[in-house]
Structure 1
Amino acid sequence: MALTSEVQSSVDYLESQLAATSAADVLNDRYYEGSQRLEHIGLAVPPELRRFETAANWCRTTVDAVANRQKMKAFYLPGEEVASEDLMEGWDANNLGSESQILGKEKLILGRGFVSVGSNEEDPDHPLIQVESATEIVAIVNRRFRRMDAAARFYDRPAYGGPAKAATLYFPDQTLWLERGPKGWVIVDRDDHKLGRVPLVMFLNRRRVGRWQGVSEMKDVIPFVDAAARTLTNLQIAGETHSVPQKYVLGMSKEDFMDKNNNPIPAWEAYFTAIWANQNKDAKVGQFTASDLKNFHDTTNHYGQLVSGITGLPIRYFGQNSANPPTEGAIVADESRLIQNVEAKNTEDGAGWGHVMGLYERFRTGKWVEGNRIATEWYNPATPTQAQTADAVTKMYANGDGLISRESSWDELGWSEAKKKREWERIEKESRMALDSLEKQVAEVV
């Protein structure tokens, strides 16, 4: 089926918008993978010296340090105080414990991420929730209502004899699947879901008012990564040419480097032996002073300190450790800015995941969730030790006479709803056993 003029106009616009972001996406991806090429300021680096290029992959450190601390704990339906087992079942059915980690990293690398929700023909009780590639998706955002009016995913299909280019168009009331044929895009399938919402959720990093592109978490770090890479590359070259004392010899000729058969002595043999043992009384042998490479080390450490100041990551994340290991309290204090950064991102991403699970419920039950949005709860992004946490919780619980209840203490320890349910069952079982034992003792006495 051919496209209407309105749909064709949307496709053309969305495809052009995606093309405009592709160069930046490729560059950010290379920096995260550590495969970027160095730009040497004012210097032409000979091809034979390219082998010395070295990059300190602080971009990956910057991204992973944040993403690895974003872990979803539970979802709460509006007005409910107990986590929803249905929503967590859907979370587990779609393997989102690991997929959400991928979304977090992609969002931090590219500045944006997308999650789609749709019906599941193989398992209707658990609609599909999929983390999509942000390099393939672009959206049109309604600035007044702050939601998407349309979105598209453009992707390459395996060459099985059919068209190589395909696309999925998302609209509030329908989803269209397209293929690019000889005469342009054609519709090959459609789903008139009548949701009233685009079944796609966009996650933005460092979102600004009126801006819907997002910013890579690595943007501020990249200039210092380049600077450090140039310093490390120069260190590599200097290590090869200046760190080992260079030797010199004066007053010797080519004939002094011949063996008894008048054959030239191999270069390495001449370097290690013939220079030092020769019969030329006029020869003078010596060595230059080796270069001190400390300036390269200090410069690299300086760049690491600047990156630490910008990102809020502890300086030890960039290879600079103190002689004595930090204490537990010092670790928490050292990570305070990192923890606050993760908590802020959890707040923003929590709204997105609440929207995702709202779509999930709509596909699962056929009805929208009533009331406010679905609330999210995240695991503590800090890194206290288990003993430290248990000690604090024990004091707050105080054997039932403290500030918090038994179940609240479990929450503080980060237990899941399933684990808490199992523990209640075990407590009830122990209570029944204790009561049966007491009744048996009373019966024996009587």
Structure 2
Amino acid sequence: MTELDEAQRLSRILSRERRPLERFDAYYEGEQPLRFVSPVLERELGYRLSPIVLNLALFAVEVYENRLDIEGFRVGAGTESDDELWDAWQENEGPFVSQQVTQESLALGRGYAMVGPGEGDDDAPVLTIESPFDAIHEDDPRTKRVRHGIKRWTDPDKVRWMTYLHQEGTITWRQRRGDWIEDDSTEGNEQRLCALVPLMNDARVLGRHRPGKSDQRLGRPVFQPILSPLDALNKEASDMMVSSEFHALPRRWATGLDEDDFVGEDGKPLNTFSMIAGRMWGTESEKAKFGQFPEAALTNFHETIKLLMQIVAMQLGLPAHYLLFQGDNPPSADAIRSSEAQLVKRAERKQQAYGVRWEQVQRLMLMELGRAEDARPKNIETIWRDPSTPTIAQKADAIVKLVQAKDFSGRSILPIEQARQDLGYTPMQQERMRDWDQNTVLDAQIAASQRELEDAAAGGV
């Protein structure tokens, strides 16, 4: 099978994957249709049935994404972030694009990163992120490494393009009159790494076999377990709003009246709204009786929504104070840390999974920088921000105690550089601190030299 045949096969799989991706995207954007509503009720209510969407899918993505911040990449046995790699990361707007691709992965199950050479020899490698609507990959069944993948797009001139990325390089075609014409090709790297790197959420080894589709599981959205409760929540919220209309305008009843009693001063019949909304009814009939049905109570909706919110919190591992109805008094710091234990652990698991992929991205970046020797799998580490939310005072107190504690040789158990990393300072802040430390030492040496000169001058006198 030729490279073009493989690329077209992957393109067909990508087209078939579009439908589930559009479904997840609708939930993420809060545009999913209203479920559990009978067609008869929809016809009866008409325009008055406006769906109320509680967009907890977006909330779930943001809760996890907020705890997945990259602070640097460590190369080799050093304790500091690699400056050259971090410069290339910053030049490619790494903090921003990593946030985007993480949101895409959590919302749609996967996102992609691509690494390529810069425009010139002195330019940094180019890092781009790709949507699962435009890219797809397949793993090698033996090594489980990315075997190949494609990216396809349409330019502003309506010309269709497709790039096939594999372990031996890349090939780009453009379509002209229904035929794919090769436009460009590049050679692969010496470690045979595919330049398309998937970042998947909750990936499994194998998925369900579906004819014509990939057998591998290409990740799932973080909110997939709560899709059914979300549909139920939106249904309850919409029902509550419909009931609130009858609660604001309670239904009235009357007996002993005829059609002539519902005629205005101009002799024209009153419309339905005028008959029920605050107009006074009067009649000369002695048999007429008036009344009002009991108002609709909404507390049953409140309890159902609260129960469904509890189910959502349980499925996502969220603390109780994130979703449930609480009082005015906020939880204590200890209570917050205890309730966030499951969420923090899940975030740490995602850091491990995403970290492996980001390290592969940095291996590709290092090879583009001409540092193939440093681009070994066990030679790179992703530095993540602590996903937990401890109080600053407690964290600082624990770190200071470790710095002050000495081992048998008199050295600190925790080096000052590691302490600054644990406190959450960025690589740039740590670099400034090192400069200040050096200036402080230099100032002390200058002051000591001046004192010695002054003492020598005084002794000579």
Instruction: Please report the TM-score for the alignment, with normalisation by the length of structure 2.
Output: 0.87
User: Is 1:337 matched up with 2:351?
Assistant: no
Structure 1 residues 71, 320: CA separation in 2 closer, same or farther (over 3 Å shift)?
same
2:367 aligns with 362
Q: Deviations over 1:9-62 (max 9, x none)?
A: 212211111112110000000000000112335544227247421121111111
Say whether the 8 Å CA contact 1:125–1:364 is kept in structure 2: no
Pairwise CA distance, 1:246: 2.3
Secondary structure of the structure 2 residue equivalent to 1:324: coil
Pairwise CA distance, 1:214: 1.5
2:356 aligns with 351
Query: Which of 176, 179, 188 is matched with 2:183 structurally?
Result: 188
User: Is 1:178 matched up with 2:165?
Assistant: no
Pairwise CA distance, 1:258: 4.9
Secondary structure of the structure 2 residue equivalent to 1:365: coil
| CA RMSD after TM alignment | 2.7
Pairwise CA distance, 1:394: 3.5
Secondary structure of the structure 2 residue equivalent to 1:69: coil
Pairwise CA distance, 1:402: 6.9
Distance in 1, Cα, partners of 2:135 & 2:263? 70
Alignment of structure 1 residues 2-401 onto 2, 5 Å: 6-40=2-36, 42-44=38-40, 45-46=42-43, 48-49=46-47, 51-122=49-120, 124-158=122-156, 160=157, 164-195=159-190, 196-210=192-206, 211-242=216-247, 244-258=249-263, 262=267, 271=276, 274-275=279-280, 282-365=287-370, 367-369=372-374, 371=376, 372-398=378-404
Pairwise CA distance, 1:353: 0.7
- Once the two structures are overlaid, the 10-residue window that deviates more, 411-420 or 317-326, is 317-326
- Once the two structures are overlaid, the 10-residue window that deviates more, 7-16 or 255-264, is 255-264
Distance in 2, Cα, partners of 1:290 & 1:378? 55
Distance in 2, Cα, partners of 1:242 & 1:43? 23
User: Is 1:411 matched up with 2:421?
Assistant: yes
Say whether the 8 Å CA contact 1:74–1:84 is kept in structure 2: yes
Pairwise CA distance, 1:177: 1.2
Say whether the 8 Å CA contact 1:204–1:213 is kept in structure 2: yes
Secondary structure of the structure 1 residue equivalent to 2:386: coil
Specify the code of the residue in structure 1 equivalent to 2:432. Answer: R
Distance in 1, Cα, partners of 2:39 & 2:143? 51
Pairwise CA distance, 1:414: 0.7
Identity %: 24
Q: Deviations over 1:253-293 (max 9, x none)?
A: 44445566656567666656652666655543322111211
Structure 1 residues 123, 340: CA separation in 2 closer, same or farther (over 3 Å shift)?
farther
Q: Deviations over 1:365-388 (max 9, x none)?
A: 163425424111100011223344
Distance in 2, Cα, partners of 1:42 & 1:252? 34
Secondary structure of the structure 1 residue equivalent to 2:180: strand
1:428 aligns with 438
2:211 aligns with none
Distance in 1, Cα, partners of 2:189 & 2:390? 47
Secondary structure of the structure 2 residue equivalent to 1:216: coil
Specify the code of the residue in structure 2 equivalent to 1:421. Answer: E
Specify the code of the residue in structure 2 equivalent to 1:381. Answer: P
Say whether the 8 Å CA contact 2:49–2:238 is kept in structure 1: no
Say whether the 8 Å CA contact 2:170–2:185 is kept in structure 1: yes
- Once the two structures are overlaid, the 10-residue window that deviates more, 139-148 or 185-194, is 185-194
Say whether the 8 Å CA contact 2:233–2:305 is kept in structure 1: yes
Structure 1 residues 20, 224: CA separation in 2 closer, same or farther (over 3 Å shift)?
same
Distance in 1, Cα, partners of 2:261 & 2:54? 47
Unpaired stretches in structure 2, ≥5 consecutive residues? 207-215
Specify the code of the residue in structure 2 equivalent to 1:407. Answer: E
Specify the code of the residue in structure 2 equivalent to 1:181. Answer: R
- Once the two structures are overlaid, the 10-residue window that deviates more, 177-186 or 90-99, is 177-186
Specify the code of the residue in structure 1 equivalent to 2:12. Answer: S
Structure 1 residues 11, 437: CA separation in 2 closer, same or farther (over 3 Å shift)?
closer
Structure 1 residues 28, 440: CA separation in 2 closer, same or farther (over 3 Å shift)?
same
- Once the two structures are overlaid, the 10-residue window that deviates more, 36-45 or 115-124, is 36-45
- Once the two structures are overlaid, the 10-residue window that deviates more, 285-294 or 391-400, is 391-400
Distance in 1, Cα, partners of 2:303 & 2:39? 22
Distance in 2, Cα, partners of 1:273 & 1:200? 66
- Once the two structures are overlaid, the 10-residue window that deviates more, 33-42 or 366-375, is 366-375
Instruction: Please report the TM-score for the alignment, with normalisation by the length of structure 1.
Output: 0.89
Pairwise CA distance, 1:407: 2.5
Number of residue pairs matched by the alignment: 439
Structure 1 residues 258, 391: CA separation in 2 closer, same or farther (over 3 Å shift)?
same
Say whether the 8 Å CA contact 1:256–1:280 is kept in structure 2: no
Secondary structure of the structure 2 residue equivalent to 1:220: helix
Say whether the 8 Å CA contact 1:249–1:275 is kept in structure 2: no
Pairwise CA distance, 1:234: 1.2
Pairwise CA distance, 1:395: 3.9
Specify the code of the residue in structure 2 equivalent to 1:127. Answer: P
Structure 1 residues 259, 135: CA separation in 2 closer, same or farther (over 3 Å shift)?
closer
Distance in 2, Cα, partners of 1:260 & 1:234? 37
Q: Deviations over 1:273-328 (max 9, x none)?
A: 65266665554332211121111111111111111111101233325224421011
Distance in 2, Cα, partners of 1:370 & 1:119? 16
- Once the two structures are overlaid, the 10-residue window that deviates more, 35-44 or 13-22, is 35-44
2:212 aligns with none
